[in-house]
């Protein structure tokens, strides 16, 4: 499973990241992996986001940020000079037994899906 956390639906970076994962979805599925995106947005917001961008990836809502906190992705951020807590853009590769086997912190959306796909492919090949 590819579990990625992102700050907000329909923002430029989050949209780019979702589109990259969505475009690579078929190859992830062929390798036996599911892609899940998680933010604090509501299910309704996720539905509008998915509809607007024709997304097939699964988007999960974590308004209490319980899951986000469990993965240590709820972090202080600086917005307009003020420190606030928010979701850090992180990705986790989880094996079939539920173990986290790869972690990417503070990722850049561009090219990240390919980076994760390469890591999954290498892991499956045993390298």
Burial 98-115 (b: 16+ CB within 10 A, else e): eeeebebeebebeebbee
Residue whose structure tokens are 């988007």 = 59
Give the active site residue among 2, 3, 9, 14.
14
DSSP state of 52: H
Helix, strand, coil distribution of the chain in percent, nearest 5: 40, 30, 35
What angle in degrees, to the nearest 10, is found between the helix axes of 12-23 and 43-53? Answer: 70
Residue 21 among the catalytic residues: no
Positions annotated as catalytic residues are 14
């Amino acid at each position: 499973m590819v579990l990625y956390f992102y700050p907000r639906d329909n923002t430029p970076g989050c949209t780019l990241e979702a589109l990259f994962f969505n475009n690579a979805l078929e190859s992830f599925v062929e390798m036996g992996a599911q892609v899940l995106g998680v933010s604090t947005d509501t299910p309704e917001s996720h539905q509008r986001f998915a509809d607007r961008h024709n997304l097939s990836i699964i988007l999960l809502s974590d308004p209490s940020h319980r899951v986000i906190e469990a993965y240590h992705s709820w972090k202080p951020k600086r917005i307009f000079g003020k420190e606030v807590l928010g979701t850090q853009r992180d990705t986790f590769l989880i094996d079939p037994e539920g173990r986290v086997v790869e972690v990417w912190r503070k990722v850049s959306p561009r090219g990240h899906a390919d980076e994760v796909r390469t890591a999954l492919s290498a892991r499956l090949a045993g390298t």
